[in-house]
Every structure is written in C-alpha cells, then in structure tokens.
C-alpha cells in the first residue's frame, strides 16, 4: 500500500450515484414485461455451440464476439470467410445453435456453394443468424441488400435509444426505458417494407435533438430510426437479427445475449440469477489518514440496508487483520470501535494477523498468524462463522501453497475462498473456479476499486469514470456475463469519498433499471455450493506451471522450483515396451527419472486418476532438484497416460513444452500381451475366461469381462488417441517409436530419441546394450560376461494367440490401422513395418 494521502482531495460531500431511469414516453399505460423463456423442443437437436464467421482472425469485432461467448461459457468455433464451412451436423444433431457474422456483407457475398449449405442448415435445424452491419465507406449512403427487401443507410449519427417493447426476444434486457444521450460513432439504420421485418430498437437522428418544434409543427415529433432489426423469417424461413452498430454500445451486449437465447430456442440461454458478494478486505489495515471513521461506518450500515432491499440477506463481508486494530488517529480509532460495536450487522472473515502473504511463510508461521487473528476475533466476539477466507494478494491460493490450505482447514475450518488468479488474471472473463482438498475456490471479479482508490479523483476520469464503470462499463458487463460475482474492495474505499458505496448502490440501481437480472445474496458456503452446482465441470482443477506467469511466480514460494518438473514423458500405451525404454533411458548419465512410487512403482501416474488432485507439490516431490538445470533431463514414464482422455489437456497445461514419447506395436499383439499380463497377475477374469471369450464379451457378459475386453482393445485404437494428443501438442513435440524396432534394434531407437530430445552428451548405447540369447531381448551390459535384463514380468513366455482371435483382431483394427497410417503420413512420420505389414495383409 504505497498510496499518498492527501486529505485535501476529499470531496466535501460524499457523492451519491445518480441513475435516472426515464420511461419510454411511447409505452402504453400499465406496460409490464415478463422476461421470455425461449426454450422450445427444437433446442434438443442443437449443440451448445455457436459458429462465428469472421473476415480474418485478427478483427476486433470478431474477437469481441468470441470473448463474449467465452464469458458466457458458450463454446464457439471461429471460421474465416473464404474457407469451407466446418461440418455443421453430427449425426442427427446440428452442431451450432446460432451462426454469427461479424460483418453481414460477408454472408451476402458468400460463394453460392457455402451460402446454400448454410441456409439449408439454418432452415433444417431452425437455426438463426446474428450479424453486424459494417459500412464499407465513411460517407452517408444507401444500399439495397441483395436478395432482401431491405435498405441500409450508413454512417448516421444517432441520439437516444430504446427497445421495441413488442419484440419477443427480450429476456435479460428490460424494455420500456429510454436511454438518453448521443450514441458514439456512426450507425447503420434499416428501411424496410415487408412484414418479415420487426424493429428491435429505435433511435433518432442526432440533428433532431435540437430541433425547434415551433419551426415546423407538423414535424415536431422526431422521426424514429431503426438501428437493429429482426427478420422473422417469413421470406425464406431463416430468422436473422441485424445490428446497425457494434458491441461498443453497452445495450448491444444485452441485446446480443438475448438474441443468442432467442435464435437458439433457449439452447444458448443463460440464467438471469446474479449472485453478488462484496468483500471488504484490509479491515483495520488501512493507513492513518484514510481509514473509516464513525460516520463512514454508519454510512456502510445504511448502504447495506438499501442493498438488502434489492438483495435480501446482503451483508458486507469484512476481512480483518487484528494486529492493526486501533492504529489510526483518534477519529479513526473510534471508527474501528464502531465497526466492532456493529459487528453483528456484518459478515466477517479472518485471515492473517499481520496481513502477511502466506506463500512467504512456512506452515508453522502461517498457522501462528491465523491463530493470533482467531484469538483477536474471540477476544472481541467477532462472529467468524462463514467458513470463508481470502489471502492477501491471492498469495497461496493459486498457485496452490499447500501450507495455506492446511492452516485454513485446521485453524479456521475454511470451506470456500476466492481468487482472481485462476487460471489467470486476464482475460477477466476467463476466470474460473476449482476445488482443492475440499476447499471451493471461486473466481473473483474486479470492480475497479483498489486499495489506492481512496478519493473520487483517484479513479480514472474521476466521478465520470466511476459512473461509467457501472453505467454500461466494465462493472456492468461483468455482472451481465457472470452469474457469480465476488467483488474485492478495501477498507479505504469505504472511508473518505466512500467510492465503494457509490459504486455498488449505482450498480444495483442501473441493473434494476435496464435488466431483468435477479440480484441474489447468499452466505459464502452456499455461494460455493451453488457455483459448482451450476458449473460442475469446473470442480476439477487444471494446474499450470507457476513459472510460466510473472504474477504466479511472484506469489509462489521461493523454496519451490519449477525445475522439478519433467522435460519429457513416456506416455505408453501399456505393454508396448515402455519399461525397456524407461530402463534404457535411465542408463543415460544426463537423464534422470522420477523416484519410485510406493503404490505404482516406477510410474507416478499423476495426470490420470486421483493423484492429480494431490497437486503439483506432490508431483514435484517425485523429482530431484536437478544439479544442472540445462544439462539434466528429468522424465517420467506412466504407460497409462496414452489413452486416458483427460491426460493430454492436463499435460499441456502443466508442461506445455514437454516432449511426448509413445511406442506403438501391432495392437493385436498388445491386446494379447495385456491379457497375459492380467493372467500373470492372477486376475480372476483373465484366469477364468479364454482370450477369445474376453474379446467376444457383449452386454450379456459380466461387467468385469467387458472391462477386460475394453482394456485389451481400447488402447490399440492408436490414431484416435494420437489425434487427441495432437489437439493439445504440436506434432513437433511428439515422438513415435516403432515398438518392434525398440525390441529388435534398441541401439538405433535410442540414437534417434537422443537426437529428437537434443540430449547432451550423446550416450553410445552400442557399448551398453546387447542381445541376451537366454532372455531373447536386448539387455544392459554389466561386464563382459553378465547382462542385466528386465524381470520375468517383461518378455513373458506364453502360447501363441489362437487363430479365431487373431482373425477377429485383424478385422477389428483394420479401420484404426488405416487411420493411423494416414495420420502418420500426414505428419510426415515414418510408418512402422508392422503397420505396413498389417495393411498389406488387409489388402
């Protein structure tokens, strides 16, 4: 907190938010509007996805649209005009619930093949189009839109704006109000003469604002213009919503959200519920001169009362550090006492006694600081029963400092927290939640007020800037797009000019005026439960490498090193020779594997299964701190990674630059080897059922038999699994080893692999590996007379596969092998000889 205190900046009377909400003068008396529910059964045939067609991938409008969809958690595909359209259907379903054009003229001038395809899709699946009109020139001109009885007039300066109260698309937007003022930029307006068109909004020519009605009484009412229009589809069966201006105008954001909902038959609707929590951190921490005084506390209470009329049960949520109690001047100390006098009127959360950053402390000191603060709460009868906490500067929440989570649970019984840092601070609409060790971590939103926003003049553009923030600015849009809003403010924002009270009262008034959003307040634990009920897919964290982000390193413990992470992974699949490769790699003096696990031996198996939830500290414990960070090549081999759906994304998130090594053998052989592996491990299913019986297992067979069949067959669908890795890694980071070659000529394979990873120094395996006739495999040379081979579990002796199973597997893998060959050719990767043979047999 290094702000300068200048009490001369103080506004004499704390500003009050002025939110005028004039009614549209043209609405009928007693007009009311119920937000529409757009859901029809048509939505069941549509994916929850939008197709955005852009002129090129860098345009601002295109990016803006994409960001809005991201904020709404609506999946979208961005396609550049000129390319062929992506597949629009998947089986019976339409993949996209809405088509969006950043520029309507690209739709009108699309080549006829693509246009016909798209129009047919829209008609068949009843999918609508949203488009923005972009002028080609700067002057005022009229243009008839090809094919349609619609004329657009470009570059018109407008004033005032209101929604058409008769339109049925309004859900989030509240019609019946008049926005007064000039609209920035030049607009396109629509002229039409057909019943298919319904105006969505009205505006007026800028020059009409100052017209003197007495000059021309007949013309006294300024002419309404139509800057947004709904084509109801009467002409060609396709509904379209066209905007004559872009998303720079705040109202268009609400209208855009409603258009998505309406045109997708509710598939892309989002809830109208908006949870609001306002945290006030730094209670008692503020510096002398800018802390709250008695009258500020009273203002907080009366503001809270007002906010409760809109959000039942709303309480400011106060985070305190007891060490700084009564550390102001006399007036401020009286303020501190007043806060405690009214303690039962607020929610409280305790954190560190001295407001320390947890990541810089060891577990003993984290606990000590929390214990002192808890003692302070007890001594002063502060009701700290919300099971909620935040960490100063987000320290320790994300990237996770396990010591903080330990202490939170132990000292405060914390169940929910919030941060701006997961996965990243920016983009702000991309913040998400996760659950770690039973603690719900919720995304926190920015409201524009920081520790240093003490006076109105501290805010960018002063009072006007503060107002704009909630009058259609960033704060307004944040609430519009995010069903859950936890705002962090600081004690200083409540004293002095009381900028926080100004902001939240203004925000609530503005939202009530213009939207149908339901503002809700619930205690933090309930908030967390509701959050993950709405977004259950977010419960699972996705860990990143803390050293990849400046802000994350700054709040990560100095005792931890990102060098304890592997540079390459051997991902499997199982039974392809992964143990042999692991052993050969470990012979290299510069290559270091993980320590053994007590349960899974040489495999850590972090990225699949439950180990992932133990966090990255747990994972890093498996690796030594490399003595020489560039000259040591840490790696990990877990053969279960290859075919596990969730793994590629998790790996690319934590280890984006890692090299990925996999080994492929004939999938039929692999399946049989797995079956034999299970028999050797006395798996009752493998012992009681022949290989052929397992392969033939259908729905009538016990689940365990079908499970074994799947474990035999699924990993061998190589192309499908590789494609999944390629969704997250560029092909240049992937190295595919021919497992037959690894078995018959490991020296060559190790040579190639060293080249690929650029391992220095080069290790000459011809001096260290040799064929062992007794084992029937290559083994490590110990001395002239002795080899060290893999144990009896690798390179087992078993009967040859029966003919029926071999024939079945040949057929089963035919398509998968053909796909693999195509994929390898496309990537310019060598095609293993076993694959060439298998494909030749099939022909």
Binding site membership for 3'-phosphoadenylyl sulfate: which residues? 673, 794-798
- CB of residue 795 vs ligand PPS: minimum separation in angstroms? 4
To the nearest whole angstrom, how small is the minimum distance from the Cβ of residue 129 to ligand PPS?
52
Write each residue from 607 to 626 as x if it is in contact with ligand PPS (CB under 6 A), else as -, in one continuous string.
Answer: --------------------
The residue among 319 and 577 lying less far from ligand PPS, judged by its C-beta, is: 577
Choose between 120 and 796: whose C-beta lies nearer to ligand PPS: 796
Cβ burial, residue 793 (10 Å; 0-12/13-18/19+): exposed
Structure tokens at 236: 């060609």
| Residue count, binding to ligand PPS (CB under 6 A) | 19
Is residue 808 packed enough to be buried (19+ CB in 10 Å), middle (13-18) or exposed (0-12)?
Answer: middle
CB of 737 to ligand PPS, least distance (A): 10
Q: Residue 274: which of 569, 17, 481 has the closest Cα?
A: 481
Q: Which of 554, 619, 601 is nearest to 790 (CA)?
A: 601
Helix 803-827 and helix 718-726, axial crossing angle in degrees, nearest 10: 30
Q: What is the nearest approach in angstroms of ligand PPS to the Cβ of residue 130?
A: 51
**According to CB under 6 A, which one of 639, 695, 823, 838 is a site residue for ligand PPS?**
639
The CB-of-738 to ligand PPS minimum distance in angstroms stands at 11
Question: Would you say 49 or 575 has its CB closer to ligand PPS?
Answer: 575
Distance, in Å, from the CA atom of 54 to the CA atom of 131, rounded to the nearest integer, reads: 11
DSSP state at residue 16: -
834 touches ligand PPS (CB under 6 A): no
Where does this chain touch ligand PPS (CB under 6 A) — which range of 73-81, 217-225, 551-559, 790-798? 790-798
422: Cβ–Cβ under 8 A, 6 or more apart, which residues?
Answer: 397, 398, 431, 432, 433, 434, 441, 443, 541
Shortest Å, Cβ 594 to ligand PPS: 15
Does 579 contact ligand PPS by CB under 6 A? Answer: yes
CB-nearer residue toward ligand PPS: 523 or 746: 746
Q: Among residues 103, 259, 485, 578, which is the contact residue for ligand PPS, using CB under 6 A?
A: 578
Site string for ligand PPS, 172-201 (x = CB under 6 A): ------------------------------
Position among 205, 340, 696, 790 found at the interface with ligand PPS (CB under 6 A): 790
How would you label 747-761 residue by residue, b for 16+ Cβ within 10 Å and e otherwise? eebbbebbebbebee
| Binding segment toward ligand PPS, per CB under 6 A, in 15-23, 234-242, 459-467, 576-584 | 576-584
Any contact of residue 580 with ligand PPS (CB under 6 A)? yes
778 binds ligand PPS (CB under 6 A): yes
Cβ 635 to ligand PPS shortest distance, Å = 15
Cis link prior to 399 (omega < 30° from 0)? Answer: yes
Unique residue bearing structure tokens 């913040």:
431
Q: Which of residues 700-759 bind ligand PPS (CB under 6 A)?
A: 742-743
Residue 641 C-beta: closest distance to ligand PPS, Å: 11
- Element (H or E) spanning 372, and its range? helix 363-379
Question: Distance between CA atoms of 129 and 104, rounded to whole angstroms?
Answer: 10
Nearer to ligand PPS, 211 or 745 (CB): 745
User: Which C-beta is closer to ligand PPS: that of 467 or that of 740?
Assistant: 740
> Residue 138 to residues 141, 157, 183, 191, 324: CA-CA distances in angstroms?
9, 12, 17, 19, 60
Q: Which stretch binds ligand PPS (CB under 6 A): 170-178, 503-511, 697-705, 789-797?
A: 789-797
Under 8 Å between Cβ of 311 and 273: no
Give the one residue of 269, 485, 676, 805 binding ligand PPS; rule: CB under 6 A.
676
Nearer to ligand PPS, 405 or 778 (CB): 778
Write down the least CB distance from residue 747 to ligand PPS, Å. Answer: 11
Q: How far is residue 734's CA from residue 756's CA, in Å, rounded to a whole number?
A: 9
Least separation in angstroms between residue 750's CB and ligand PPS is 11
**Residue range at the interface with ligand PPS (CB under 6 A); choices 145-153, 468-476, 574-582, 834-842:** 574-582
Query: 740 vs 477, 587, 743, 749, 796, CA distance in Å?
Result: 58, 21, 5, 10, 16
Tokens representing 581 are: 């490769």
Between 129 and 664, whose beta carbon lies closer to ligand PPS? Answer: 664
Report in angstroms the alpha-carbon separations of 504 from 318, 346, 468. 16, 16, 13
Task: Tell me whether the omega of the peptide bond preceding residue 573 falls within 30 degrees of 0, making it cis.
Answer: yes
CB 434 within 8 A of CB 538: yes
Q: Is 577 in the site for ligand PPS (CB under 6 A)?
A: yes
CB under 8 Å, gap of 24 or more: what pairs does 808-814 form?
Answer: 808/692, 808/695, 808/696, 809/667, 809/668, 809/671, 809/695, 810/668, 810/838, 810/841, 810/842, 812/668, 812/713, 813/667, 813/668, 813/716, 813/717, 813/838, 814/842
Site string for ligand PPS, 444-473 (x = CB under 6 A): ------------------------------
Q: Which is nearer to ligand PPS, 484 or 641 (CB)?
A: 641
Active site residues: 575
Residues with Cβ < 8 Å from 326, sequence gap 6 or more? 284, 333, 336, 337
Evaluated on CA atoms 54, 58, 62, 66, the torsion sign reads positive
Stretch that binds ligand PPS, among 316-324, 342-350, 378-386, 575-583 (CB under 6 A): 575-583
> CA 666 to CA 468: how far, in whole Å?
65
Q: Does 644 bind ligand PPS (CB under 6 A)?
A: no
Give dist(CA 337, CA 744) in Å, integer.
Answer: 81
- In this structure, are residues 46 and 265 in contact, taking their beta carbons and an 8 Å threshold? yes
**Two structure tokens written together for 726:** 């390629």
Enumerate residues 6+ apart whose C-beta is below 8 A from 268: 48, 50, 72, 74, 97, 98, 260, 261
Closer residue to ligand PPS in complex, CB, 574/754:
574
Tell me the window of 31-39, 167-175, 787-795, 810-818 that interacts with ligand PPS (CB under 6 A): 787-795
Tell the smallest beta-carbon distance from residue 640 to ligand PPS (Å). Answer: 8
Considering only 261, 451, 503, 574, the residue that binds ligand PPS (CB under 6 A) is: 574
Binding mask 247-286 for ligand PPS (x = CB under 6 A): ----------------------------------------
What the block records as the tokens of 269 is: 């609707």
Nearer to ligand PPS, 315 or 677 (CB): 677
Site for ligand PPS in 301-340 (CB under 6 A): none
For 571-597, give one letter per residue: b (16+ CB within 10 A) or e.
Answer: bbbbbbbbbbbbbbbeebebbbbbeee
Q: What share of the chain is helix, strand, coil (3-state, %, to 5)?
A: 40, 20, 40
Q: Rounded to a whole number, what is the distance in angstroms from the first to the last CA of the chain?
A: 74
Mark residues 794-813: x for contact with ligand PPS by CB under 6 A, - for none: xxx-----------------
Q: Does 792 bind ligand PPS (CB under 6 A)?
A: no
Binding site for ligand PPS (CB under 6 A): 574-580, 639, 673, 676-677, 742-743, 777-778, 790, 794-796
């Amino acid at each position: 907190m290094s702000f300068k205190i200048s009490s001369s900046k103080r506004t004499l009377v704390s500003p009050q938010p002025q939110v005028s909400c004039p009614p549209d003068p043209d609405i009928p008396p007693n007009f009311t509007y119920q937000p529409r529910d757009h859901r029809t059964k048509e939505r069941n045939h549509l994916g929850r996805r939008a197709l955005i067609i852009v002129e090129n991938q860098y345009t601002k409008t295109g990016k803006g649209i994409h960001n809005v969809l991201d904020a709404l958690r609506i999946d979208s595909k961005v396609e550049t005009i000129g390319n062929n359209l992506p597949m629009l259907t998947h089986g019976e379903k339409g993949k996209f619930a809405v088509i969006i054009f950043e520029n309507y003229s690209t739709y009108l001038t699309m080549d006829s093949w693509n246009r016909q395809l798209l129009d047919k899709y829209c008609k068949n699946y009843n999918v609508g189009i949203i488009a923005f009109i972009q002028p080609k020139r700067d002057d005022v001109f009229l243009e008839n839109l090809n094919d349609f009885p619609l004329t657009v007039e470009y570059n018109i300066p407008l004033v005032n704006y209101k929604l058409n109260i008769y339109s049925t698309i309004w859900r989030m937007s509240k019609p019946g109000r008049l926005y007064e003022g000039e609209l920035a930029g030049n607009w396109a307006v629509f002229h039409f003469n057909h019943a298919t068109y319904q105006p969505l909004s009205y505006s007026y020519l800028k020059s009409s604002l100052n017209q003197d009605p007495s000059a021309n009484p007949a013309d006294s009412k300024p002419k309404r213009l139509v800057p947004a229009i709904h084509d109801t589809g009467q002409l060609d069966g396709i509904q379209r919503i066209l905007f004559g201006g872009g998303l720079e105008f705040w109202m268009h954001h609400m209208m855009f959200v409603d258009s998505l909902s309406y045109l997708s038959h509710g598939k892309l609707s989002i809830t109208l519920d908006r949870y609001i929590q306002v945290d006030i951190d730094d209670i008692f921490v503020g510096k002398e001169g800018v802390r709250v005084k008695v009258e500020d506390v009273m203002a907080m209470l009366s503001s809270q009362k007002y906010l409760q009329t809109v959000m039942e049960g709303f309480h400011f949520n106060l985070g305190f550090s007891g060490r700084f109690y009564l550390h102001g001047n006399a007036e401020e100390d009286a303020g501190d006492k007043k806060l405690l006098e009214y303690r039962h009127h607020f929610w409280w959360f305790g954190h560190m006694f001295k407001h320390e950053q947890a990541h810089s402390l060891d577990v003993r000191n984290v606990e000590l600081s929390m214990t002192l603060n808890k003692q302070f709460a007890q001594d002063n009868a502060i009701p700290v029963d919300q099971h909620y906490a935040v960490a100063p500067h987000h320290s320790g929440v994300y990237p996770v400092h396990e010591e903080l989570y330990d202490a939170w649970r132990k000292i405060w019984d914390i169940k929910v927290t919030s941060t701006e840092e997961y996965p990243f601070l920016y983009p702000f609409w991309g913040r998400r939640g996760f659950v770690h060790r039973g603690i719900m971590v919720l995304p926190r939103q920015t409201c524009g007020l920081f520790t240093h926003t003490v006076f109105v003049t501290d805010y960018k553009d002063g009072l006007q800037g503060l107002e704009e923030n909630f009058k259609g600015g960033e704060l307004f849009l944040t609430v519009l797009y995010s069903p859950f809003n936890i705002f962090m403010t600081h004690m200083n924002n409540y004293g002095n000019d009381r900028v926080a009270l100004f902001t939240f009262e203004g925000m609530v008034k503005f939202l009530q005026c213009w939207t149908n959003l339901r503002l809700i307040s619930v205690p933090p634990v309930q908030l967390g439960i509701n959050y993950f009920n709405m977004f259950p897919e977010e419960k699972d964290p996705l860990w990143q490498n803390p050293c990849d982000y400046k802000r994350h390193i700054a709040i990560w413990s100095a005792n931890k090193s990102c060098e304890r992470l592997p540079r390459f992974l051997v991902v499997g699949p199982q039974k392809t020779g992964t143990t042999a490769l692991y052993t050969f790699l470990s012979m290299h003096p510069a290559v270091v594997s993980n320590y053994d696990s007590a349960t899974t031996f040489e495999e850590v198996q972090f990225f699949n299964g439950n180990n992932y939830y133990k966090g990255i500290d747990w994972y890093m414990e498996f690796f030594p701190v490399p003595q020489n960070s560039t000259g040591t090549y840490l790696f990990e081999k877990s053969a279960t990674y290859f075919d596990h759906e969730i793994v590629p994304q998790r790996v690319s998130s934590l280890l984006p630059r890692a090299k990925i090594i996999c080994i492929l053998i004939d999938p039929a052989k692999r399946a049989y080897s797995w079956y034999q592996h299970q028999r050797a491990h006395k798996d009752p299913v493998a012992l009681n059922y022949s290989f052929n019986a397992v392969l033939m297992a259908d729905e009538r067979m016990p689940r365990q038999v079908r499970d074994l069949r799947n474990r035999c067959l699924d990993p061998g669908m190589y192309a499908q699994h590789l494609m999944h890795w390629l969704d997250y890694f560029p092909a240049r980071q992937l190295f595919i080893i021919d497992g037959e070659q690894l078995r018959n000529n490991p020296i060559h394979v190790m040579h190639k692999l060293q080249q690929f990873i650029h391992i220095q120094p080069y290790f000459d395996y011809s001096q260290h590996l040799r064929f062992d006739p007794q084992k029937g495999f290559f083994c490590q040379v110990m001395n002239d007379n002795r080899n060290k081979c893999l144990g009896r579990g690798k390179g087992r002796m078993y009967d040859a596969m029966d003919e029926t199973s071999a024939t079945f597997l040949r057929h089963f893998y035919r398509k998968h092998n053909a796909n693999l060959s195509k994929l390898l050719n496309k990537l310019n990767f060598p095609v293993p000889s076993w694959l060439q043979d298998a494909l030749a047999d099939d022909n």
